[in-house]
Chain A
Amino acid sequence: MSLAIAGMGLVTPLGSGVDSVWRRLLRGEEASATTISEQFADRPYAVFRVSESPLTGLAHRRLRRASLISRFAAAAGLEALRSAGIKVDAQNAERIALIFAVSNGGVIYTSRFYRDIVETGAQSASPLLFPETVFNAPASHLAAILGVNGTTYTVVGDGAVGLLAVKMAEDVMANKALDYCLVVGTEETDWLLCDAYRRWRLLRLAPPIEPFSKRNRGMILGEGAGAILLGRTGPIAIERAHPGGCYEKRAEADEILKRMLKDLNQTETDFVISSANGTFIDHAEERALEQVVPDTIIYTAKPALGESIGASGLWQVIVGAHALHCRELPPVLHADQNISLRLSCSRTPLSDAHSAIILSSGINQQVAGLRLALR
């Protein structure tokens, strides 16, 4: 079964709206880093944040107390529906499924909620914050805004979770009673996350993200949301969503990636949207790409947008779909020029491109992929 992308929405640190972000990526722009600090620690971290402006029009009462992660998701989801010309009403509310991808969830409110407990005791715990700490709070808010009353799932995982959510959407849409599935990936940044990833030796203190670098200097976190509306028809098909796999040790990741790439590359592939982010996963992807698709053009948007974990897979799909539509790839920023992969080092025309592979390697054991094709 092949699904098609009927609409897309983007909220990123490089701006919001698919066309606007795309133009900036083509120009080789990257998001500006801001520094965040924490009262009980002296180490600040650089992150790519979303400006408040794309969120100002979101006036729904369910978003009044909602965390940023929910507001990012609502903005991206509404843009995807708008771009497809779909309005949810009582007639079709049951025929639209909603699948969310998140990794760390509402970490800002979660850490604030727990800080009250640690600093002043359980009696200070806020009943207003607690509901926003649950993983499915963003999905619940968007379902309420739209009036969707049927299937709503929140899928949790690492950087591969966005593509795992698309795979789940493909399975859910096997039910012919559904017309559409809105898949949203969303994430917010926080000092605590930066500190955790640094202690895990995956984060660098300041930009840039250097993809495929031999030195694995680490990633910079980004935030925002990406949304795709999947339907039965449309110009760009999800030809195949691969269920992916899980690696036990980091050294095993490239073997799973190779198997998956071979499955997805049964016919010629014009380009690959990689998830390279400056960490160990770059080398796993590099080895798999070198072996399976050595002559295919590779692009990663993470140096420009940051690593947004839960949102990043959806960003990759949107970038891949838009590249097929516009027949052009943006330049990869800050890449090591000495690697053997064929990177899109400058704006790369794709005059006769008709297919792309999206590859997501998470930093916590999950990998996933899918194949896009022009119909």
Chain B
Amino acid sequence: MAQLGSSTRENIPQRVAVVAAGVVSPLGFGLTETAHSLRKAKDCVTEVTRFSVAECRCKTAGQVSDDRLLAGLDKGHHAKRLHRASHMMIHALREAMAQASKFEPELSVIGTTSGGMSYGEHYYRSLCQSGDLRHAPTWISNYPAQKPAIDAQDEVLGVSVPCQIIANACASGTNAIGHAFECVRSGRYQRVLTGGYDALSELVFTGFDSLQASTPEKCRPFDRRRAGMVLGEGAAIMALENLDIARKRGAPVLAEIIGYGISTDNFHITQPNPSGVGPQQAMERALHSANISPEDVDYINAHGTATTFNDAVEGKAISALFDGVPVSSTKSMMGHSLGAAGAVEAVVCLLALQEQFLPPNINFGALDNDLELNIVANESQSATVHTALSNSFGFGGTNASVLMRRIGA
């Protein structure tokens, strides 16, 4: 609990390094597989197998393999009872900690929207249908939103780390990274673990279907034929550290987080303000926080859900601020993992910065007539990427953007 109390450090903005990262998503397990899938423009959206979607319009999602989730995990009684969201978090945190020896976080800030929701569904369904409730205590105790994050810390770190769980709908992951960044930048903390997770659940899948936000077709962000989103799942972790301290102890620095912007647009609980003011404010505030201009940004990983409203509003906001910056929505490849999305996409940006390429926006035919965007269409591209922006926008009018920079740039 070595929280800095020094007013001197608190008054000077500190630089914030990403010293480790881990990811599990439909694109793959780990950074290497994820980068490979991004480069190959792999479509990882498949037929939903976890629950019946017979009555839903949408039949597909980006899914993480249970076999792979369970492989390599402790096969003991305890691990088996954990929710699969916990398993995803354990994999992601284990990968990150393998790169970050001596990283002892003072705090973790993690985003999610639904925790162990499918366990809640099992419990409710069994109650309603007079089913078998023998496992109810396990379902109930593993259902809470904070549980997968705490499980992963117990399993991988083996120590008690204070844990803050942010549930700001689809912006949760980016909000978590942004808040963690500000905690380190303010000098109040030296090391903070951050990220996000969410596992596919019937309730949430059916919810988006009921709103007709999800599509029976391919996910085509920013395309004129776009018809909606597909859901996904996953977990991603980033270890953030005061850059000077990380360098002093010889830690590898993967990238630097340089800015964060948050806004609330108050227009409607599920729809963004058509003017684009919310997303635009979030991006402007991130640029202001980083003290850079729009011309300094080389790549934008858009929220890009492929819903009519989101893409129109985000596209308008991007083109109001940026001139021809390459944009892609990697949700086209893996679906929208909600609370994990911002964290997974921050890892995508990290890979773009490290490996100098632009991740693609697949299933793309032609740009919406009302948009002026430079879409990274269908194939990844080699490029010089010094600075990347990642956007996430969610229900409740919550908007968040983070800016990351290649180290040494």
- In the assembly, what is the distance between CA of A169 and CA of B163, in Å? 14
Interface assignment of B352: CB less than 8 Å from any CB of chain A = no
User: A115-B128, A151-B262, A174-B182 known; A199 and B136 CB under 8 Å?
Assistant: yes
Is B169 touching A134 in the complex (CB atoms < 8 A)? yes
Closest to B285 in A: A150
User: A125-B206, A175-B182, A199-B140 known; A256 and B211 CB under 8 Å?
Assistant: no
In the complex, identify which listed stretch (A106-114, A276-284, A332-340) lies at the interface while the others stay far away.
Answer: A106-114
CB distance from B206 to the nearest CB of A (A): 5
Interface assignment of A306: CB less than 8 Å from any CB of chain B = no
Proximity bits, A244-256, B CB within 8 Å = 1, else 0: 1111100010001
In the complex, identify which listed stretch (A28-36, A137-145, A207-215) lies at the interface while the others stay far away.
Answer: A137-145
CB distance from A66 to the nearest CB of B (A): 9
Q: Which residues 193-209 of A have a CB within 8 angstroms of B?
A: 195-197, 199-201
Q: Which residues of B contact A196 (CB under 8 A)?
A: 123, 136, 140, 143
- In the assembly, what is the distance between CA of A119 and CA of B127, in Å? 12
Is B266 touching A143 in the complex (CB atoms < 8 A)? yes
Closest to A153 in B: B166
Q: Which residues of B contact A133 (CB under 8 A)?
A: 203, 207
Interface assignment of B153: CB less than 8 Å from any CB of chain A = yes
CB distance from B116 to the nearest CB of A (A): 11
Interface assignment of A181: CB less than 8 Å from any CB of chain B = no
- In the assembly, what is the distance between CA of A269 and CA of B207, in Å? 49
Q: Which of A130, A131, A139, A141 has the most CB of B within 10 A?
A: A130
CB distance from A251 to the nearest CB of B (A): 13
Is A199 touching B266 in the complex (CB atoms < 8 A)? no
Q: Which residues of B contact A144 (CB under 8 A)?
A: 266, 397
CB distance from A336 to the nearest CB of B (A): 27
Interface assignment of B18: CB less than 8 Å from any CB of chain A = no
Q: Which of A98, A131, A139, A143 has the most CB of B within 10 A?
A: A131
Q: Which residues of A contact B107 (CB under 8 A)?
A: 243
Q: Which residues of B contact A119 (CB under 8 A)?
A: 128
Proximity bits, A112-136, B CB within 8 Å = 1, else 0: 0111011101110111001111111
CB distance from B151 to the nearest CB of A (A): 9
Is B207 touching A200 in the complex (CB atoms < 8 A)? no
Closest to A97 in B: B262
- In the assembly, what is the distance between CA of A148 and CA of B264, in Å? 7
Is B266 touching A136 in the complex (CB atoms < 8 A)? no
CB distance from A95 to the nearest CB of B (A): 13
Is B269 touching A131 in the complex (CB atoms < 8 A)? yes
User: A152-B264, A256-B160, A365-B150 known; A136 and B210 CB under 8 Å?
Assistant: no
Closest to A151 in B: B262
Is A136 touching B167 in the complex (CB atoms < 8 A)? yes
CB distance from B365 to the nearest CB of A (A): 28
Interface assignment of B241: CB less than 8 Å from any CB of chain A = no
User: A199-B136, A246-B160, A364-B141 known; A157 and B395 CB under 8 Å?
Assistant: no
Is A127 touching B10 in the complex (CB atoms < 8 A)? no
Is A41 touching B264 in the complex (CB atoms < 8 A)? no
Q: Which residues of A contact B166 (CB under 8 A)?
A: 153-156
Interface assignment of A1: CB less than 8 Å from any CB of chain B = yes
Closest to A65 in B: B269
Q: Which residues 149-201 of B have a CB within 8 angstroms of A?
A: 150, 153-154, 160-169, 175, 179, 182-183, 186, 188
CB distance from A218 to the nearest CB of B (A): 14
- In the assembly, what is the distance between CA of A368 and CA of B160, in Å? 12
- In the assembly, what is the distance between CA of A359 and CA of B240, in Å? 29
CB distance from B303 to the nearest CB of A (A): 16
- In the assembly, what is the distance between CA of A53 and CA of B167, in Å? 30
Of B144, B207, B264, the contact of A364 (CB 8 Å cutoff): B144
CB distance from A172 to the nearest CB of B (A): 7
Of B3, B115, B150, B262, the contact of A150 (CB 8 Å cutoff): B262
Q: Which residues of A contact B113 (CB under 8 A)?
A: 134-135
Is A246 touching B264 in the complex (CB atoms < 8 A)? no
Is B137 touching A200 in the complex (CB atoms < 8 A)? yes
Q: Which residues 113-145 of B have a CB within 8 angstroms of A?
A: 113, 115, 121, 123-125, 127-130, 133, 136-137, 140-141, 143-145
Interface assignment of A187: CB less than 8 Å from any CB of chain B = no
Is A131 touching B270 in the complex (CB atoms < 8 A)? yes
User: A171-B183, A243-B1, A246-B150 known; A156 and B160 CB under 8 Å?
Assistant: no
CB distance from A275 to the nearest CB of B (A): 17
Is A156 touching B145 in the complex (CB atoms < 8 A)? yes
Q: Which residues of B contact A364 (CB under 8 A)?
A: 141, 144, 146-147
Of A102, A117, A153, A366, the contact of B175 (CB 8 Å cutoff): A153
Q: Which residues of B contact A259 (CB under 8 A)?
A: 1
Is A243 touching B162 in the complex (CB atoms < 8 A)? yes
Is A137 touching B269 in the complex (CB atoms < 8 A)? yes
CB distance from A236 to the nearest CB of B (A): 21
Is A127 touching B210 in the complex (CB atoms < 8 A)? yes
- In the assembly, what is the distance between CA of A175 and CA of B140, in Å? 38
Q: Which residues of A contact B372 (CB under 8 A)?
A: none
User: A134-B169, A156-B115 known; A125 and B396 CB under 8 Å?
Assistant: no
CB distance from B117 to the nearest CB of A (A): 9
- In the assembly, what is the distance between CA of A127 and CA of B269, in Å? 12
Closest to A247 in B: B160
Interface assignment of B394: CB less than 8 Å from any CB of chain A = yes
Q: Which residues of B contact A113 (CB under 8 A)?
A: 203, 207
Q: Which of A111, A119, A150, A155 has the most CB of B within 10 A?
A: A155
CB distance from B147 to the nearest CB of A (A): 7
- In the assembly, what is the distance between CA of A156 and CA of B210, in Å? 25
Q: Which residues 289-313 of A have a CB within 8 angstroms of B?
A: none
- In the assembly, what is the distance between CA of A105 and CA of B168, in Å? 12
* Sample of 14 further A-B pairs with CB below 8 A, known A111-B124, A196-B123: A40-B130, A105-B167, A127-B212, A131-B269, A135-B169, A136-B394, A150-B263, A151-B262, A152-B262, A152-B264, A153-B168, A156-B144, A248-B154, A366-B146
Return 14 A-B CB contacts under 8 Å, by A number. Answer: A1-B10, A40-B127, A115-B124, A122-B53, A122-B55, A130-B208, A136-B167, A136-B168, A151-B264, A154-B166, A156-B166, A158-B144, A243-B106, A245-B160
